[in-house]
Amino acid sequence: MIYFLIPVFNEEGNIPLLSEKLNSVLQEYSKHYVFVDDCSTDGSIQTIRNCFDATQLQVISKDQNKGPGDSFNLGFEWIIQNSESSNDIIVTLEADNTSDLSILKTMILLSENKYSLVLASVYAQGGGFDKTSFLRRTISFFSNIIFRFIFNVKVLTLSSFYRAHHVEMIKSVKSKYGVIISESGFISMVELLIKSINVGSTIIEVPMTLYSGQRKGKSKMKVLKTSISYLKFIFKYKKIFKSNIHE
C-alpha cells in the first residue's frame, strides 16, 4: 500500500489538479490518500471529497490551526495504526502541486529496494527551482547549509515535504522518541529527518524540480516566522541531536 499524506490549508484551487496527478500515477499499486485539514476556511475538504474515491480516502480534521508539522504528526499516527504491512510506504508532499510527480515511481522503486527514506531534492545534481523567488531560494540554500553543518547531516535537502518513508521507519521514530513530530511549523520535516537518521535509516536523494509556478494562490510559509522557528530549533535540539548522530 502507498499512503499519500498531505497537509491542507485553504487549497481548494489546487486540489482538482492534484487529484488528476495522483490518480494517474502508480496505478499498479494500492493507494490511500490521507489529507489532514488545518482548519481551512474555503471549500478544500468538500473539493477533496468530490475529487477522490471515498474508499481510498481519509480526511482528518483539526479543531485548531497548528501548522503542517502538527498535521503530519496526526497523519503519521493514523497511518501507522492502520497500516497492515511492514512493506507499506508513506509519501508526503504538498497540496499545492509544486512537487514533481514524474520522479515518484523512481522514489518508490528505491524505497522498495533498500532505502527507508527517499528525499526529493532540489539540490541534488539535476534538481532545481522553477519560478521560485530569489529570496525563497536564498533562504532555503543557506538554511540547508547551516543545518547540515550544525547537525552533521550529509544529505543536501533537509526541509522538503516531498519524501517516501517506510512505515517501519516511522514506527521506529515513534518508539525511540515517543512522538513522531513535535514541531508544528515547517521546521517539522528537519526534525523528522534528523530523527530518521538517528534510528538508522538508509537514505537517498532523487533530483527534483520545484514547480512554484503551478501553485494557485500564495505559499503558506511565512518567511520571517519560519526563519525564527529555525533559530529556535537550533538552540533547542543541537546538543541532543548532534550527540545522537555522533553515537
Q: What are 109-132's pLDDT values in tens digits?
A: 999 998 999 999 998 888 876 766
| Strand spans (E) along the chain | 2-8, 31-37, 57-61, 89-92, 117-121, 128-130, 163-166, 203-207, 209-211
Distances (CA, A) of 2 to 5, 156, 188: 10, 25, 22
pTM of the shown model = 0.86
Average pLDDT over residues 15-38: 96
pLDDT in tens, 161-216: 999 999 999 999 999 999 999 998 888 999 999 999 999 999 999 999 887 766 67
How far apart are the C-alpha atoms of 71 and 30, rounded to whole Å?
Answer: 23
Walk me through the domains of the chain, giving residue ranges and CATH numbers: 2-246 (3.90.550.10)
pLDDT-based confidence at residue 28 (cuts at 50, 70, 90): very high
How far apart are the C-alpha atoms of 218 and 212, rounded to whole Å?
Answer: 10
pLDDT in tens, 218-247: 655 555 566 666 667 776 766 656 545 444
Spell out the residues 6+ positions from residue 222 whose beta carbon is closer than 8 angstroms to its own. none
Residue found under cell 526541509 = 159
Are 82 and 88 in contact by the 8 Å Cβ rule? The answer is no
Decide if pLDDT at 108 tops 70: yes
Which pLDDT score, from 0 to 100, does residue 136 have? 61
Which pLDDT score, from 0 to 100, does residue 247 have? 43
Average pLDDT over residues 31-52: 97
Which pLDDT score, from 0 to 100, does residue 230 have? 66
How far apart are the C-alpha atoms of 44 and 233, rounded to whole Å?
Answer: 31
Are 70 and 38 in contact by the 8 Å Cβ rule? The answer is yes
Average pLDDT over residues 40-66: 97
Which pLDDT score, from 0 to 100, does residue 138 have? 65
Burial 199-231 (b: 16+ CB within 10 A, else e): bebebbbbbbbbbbebbeeeebeeeeeeeebbe
